Chain A
């Protein structure tokens, strides 16, 4: 018979080792679908590595891909720490992007030093509003935020399509549903010549450091963790639970909004309805893989971005469907869930009669 016994305190080696092992196992499990697709497995892994480390360009592409994932991973981390299930980062991403193109395409004509902060702030505010709504519905009416944020993702995406065919449509866009380009002054600076990597990465890294400090060193962060660990006890201790949840929601939404800003004002320059290949949902995996630690989010975002960029390049070279990347990401989430369990519990095999 199998018994689970809680470990006293999960060891440091396990808390760090489990996510790494989970990520590697998920990557190894990809051999099964690769074999199913009839690909040479070793060559496939080689192509993936080449797609990430093969050139400076490949490596910066991976970091470019990691940038929005750091933002959405942080968004999920802060919300989940307060046990607020923000599954709406995908929608908040687009709200941020919409705000960026609203103010950044000519509404305000200012030098970059003024325009860029304005774009960042409006984008963050739009994302924050996108999560404040569901958090309000939760604290005021008890409406489950999982369902409301999930439904809002669809509502916001359709709203975006409406805007891109209406007020936000680029008259010079040859009829395509896309926004006007962001003014040159509003674009985040490039980090390296001839590469797509942009200052969004720097902002994301700063955000991760600030989030880490806020979470572990401030009263705000203490309250947030207390509410997440035991809302009833936190309330009893005099912590304003609703206020704390609203705060977590606003910060989480703002971070997801910044992901949208960074993609539109750092990378693409204009907004289309397919700007995000699911960055919001993938952010949840990034956060879980990081063990809900803001600094960890940076590392796991780099891993997930490597999976996407590596699998894309492998898929182009070998003709294996690039849905393999999504499969590995999903497997990482499931592996880290199971791994987290083994970090918290000792698995004992008890012989009948011996106990």
Chain B
């Protein structure tokens, strides 16, 4: 009875959307890279770098939007590294991505630790506040769920629409999808395969970094080591779950957020009988199960993981 009641509360759905927000950024970022034919396992580290860089920029006085810009640029920078390694050099996308994750994570940790040696409690910033749009936020149910989120959640939702529009309604999007399916055809059209792929990785990585920045600039107000905690990997699973479609990516992230919010509330109901780790484990298990279910039907971009060299067929 209590369990069903949880699903009807506005605070539950507000939490679901809040938890989904960084994942929306991350899934969209990974989706753009993979649509162009490049797997980006740098995501976990780019999340950490975005979280650290965004937070530190605000802490140094850049302002919240300035912080987001810094996070996006830092993410794009790591994306450019991955792009150079995997596109013109055609190196293993798996290994390069893991290398970027290790590099971005350790560099962020090193810089944070060097700038703030041994502080007892991590310094805090004033994060994005709930928007509290007049009138709309007073609506029953919808008000708390939609109109009391922070600007970053709105930015994430806007990005879903933008990415969908670019991919499906613009010549750039068409070229981008083609470069992940049939790079030879794109080359024959006189378009630059390298340019399109590298651009997609840089843009996708910038989005991933915004997902990381949400953690330190909206969800919390400080940076912690290990705070990304596998969110990047979950995004990689969600992209497959979403069949590389922005709309389904939003749905997948929301389902994940709802599940996560639900398990936290369930924990308070039945926590006395079930070890808390069962609930902590649940989101990862859910991602794994969802991945296995859709794996058979997954239609990967045809040229995903395949390097392409100009003048070689």
A residues near B (Cβ < 8 Å) are: 4, 33, 36-37, 85, 87, 137, 141-144, 146-148, 150-155, 158-159, 161-162, 165-166, 281, 284-285, 288, 319-321, 323-324, 326-327, 329-331, 333-334, 337-338, 340-341
- Contact: B95 with A142, CB < 8 Å? no
B291 contact set on A, CB distance < 8 A = 143-144, 147-148, 151
Question: A341 — nearest CB in chain B belongs to which residue?
Answer: B89
CA distance A161 to B41 in the complex (A): 27
Say whether A150 contacts B230, CB under 8 Å. Answer: yes
B90 → chain A closest CB, angstroms:
8
Q: Is the CB of B99 within 8 A of A337?
A: yes
Report, as a range, how many residues of chain B touch the other chain: 35 or more
Question: How many Å lie between the Cα of A329 and that of B240 in the bound state?
Answer: 30
Contact with A along B244-264 (1 / 0, CB 8 A): 000000000000000000000
Contact B102 A165 (CB under 8 A): no
Q: Are B103 and A158 in contact (CB under 8 A)?
A: no
Flag if B230 contacts A141 (CB, 8 Å).
Answer: no
A338 touches B106 (CB 8 A): no
Contact of A158 with B106 in the complex, beta carbons under 8 Å: no
Contact at B277–A162, with CB atoms within 8 Å? yes
Given A143-B291, A323-B106, A333-B99; A341-B114 close (CB under 8 Å): no
Interface residue SS majority, chain A: helix
Q: Which 6 A-B pairs have the closest CB atoms?
A: A326-B106, A330-B102, A162-B277, A321-B113, A330-B103, A143-B295
Min CB distance, B30 to chain A, in Å? 11
> Is B157 close to A, CB under 8 A?
no
* B216 close to A (CB within 8 Å): no
Contact, CB under 8 Å: A331 / B309: no
Chain A residue with Cβ nearest B118: A319
Interface of B is mostly: helix
Q: Which positions 101-120 of chain B face chain A at CB distance < 8 Å?
A: 102-103, 105-107, 109-111, 113-114, 117
Q: How far is the CB of A172 from chain B (nearest CB, A)?
A: 21
Q: Report the Cα distance A329→B284, complex, angstroms.
A: 27
Q: Are A337 and B91 in contact (CB under 8 A)?
A: yes
B278 at the interface (CB under 8 A from A): yes
**Inter-subunit contact B114/A144 (CB<8 Å):** no
Alpha-carbon separation in the docked complex, A165 to B276 (Å): 10
Write out, one digit per residue, whether chain B residues 217-235 have a CB within 8 A of any chain A CB (1) or not (0): 0000000000001100110
- CB closest chain-B residue, reference A327: B106
| A-B pairs with beta carbons under 8 Å apart, 26 shown | A85-B94, A87-B98, A141-B292, A142-B295, A143-B292, A144-B295, A146-B236, A147-B240, A147-B288, A151-B234, A151-B284, A153-B230, A154-B233, A155-B281, A159-B281, A162-B278, A284-B98, A288-B95, A323-B106, A323-B113, A329-B102, A330-B106, A334-B100, A334-B103, A337-B92, A341-B91
The tally of CB-CB contacts under 8 A between chains A and B is: 133
Contacts of B278 in A (CB 8 A): 162
Residue of A nearest to B281 (CB): A158
Q: In whole angstroms, how far apart are the Cα atoms of A291 and B96 in the complex?
A: 15
Q: Name the A residues within 8 Å of B275 (CB-CB).
A: 162, 165-166
> Which chain B residues lie closer than 8 Å to A158 at the CB level?
277, 280-281, 284
Tell whether B313 is near chain A: CB-to-CB under 8 Å.
no
Q: In the complex the two chains form, what is the Cα distance from A126 to B252 in whole Å? A: 33
Shortest Cβ gap from B83 to chain A (Å) = 13
Assuming A155-B285, A155-B288, A326-B109, is B240 touching A141 (CB within 8 A)?
no
Instruction: Report Cα–Cα, A326/B104, bound state, in Å.
Output: 10
Given A162-B278, A321-B109, A323-B109, A151 and B298 contact (CB-CB distance below 8 Å)? no
Complex formed: what's the CA distance from A285 to B103 in Å? 12
B85 within 8 A of A: yes
Contact yes or no, B236 A147, CB < 8 A: yes
CB distance from B166 to the nearest CB of A (A): 26
Q: Which residues of B contact A148 (CB under 8 A)?
A: 288, 291-292
Q: Which residues of B contact A284 (CB under 8 A)?
A: 95, 98
> Is the Cβ of B230 less than 8 Å from the Cβ of A154?
yes
Interfacial chain A residues near B106, Cβ < 8 Å: 323, 326-327, 329-330
Chain B residue contacts of A144, Cβ below 8 A: 240, 291, 295
Instruction: State the Cβ distance, B151 to closest chain A Cβ, in Å.
Output: 30
List 19 additional A-B contacts (Cβ < 8 Å) besides A141-B292, A144-B291, A327-B110: A37-B114, A141-B295, A141-B296, A142-B296, A147-B233, A150-B230, A150-B233, A150-B236, A151-B230, A154-B230, A155-B281, A155-B285, A165-B275, A281-B98, A321-B117, A326-B109, A334-B81, A338-B89, A338-B91
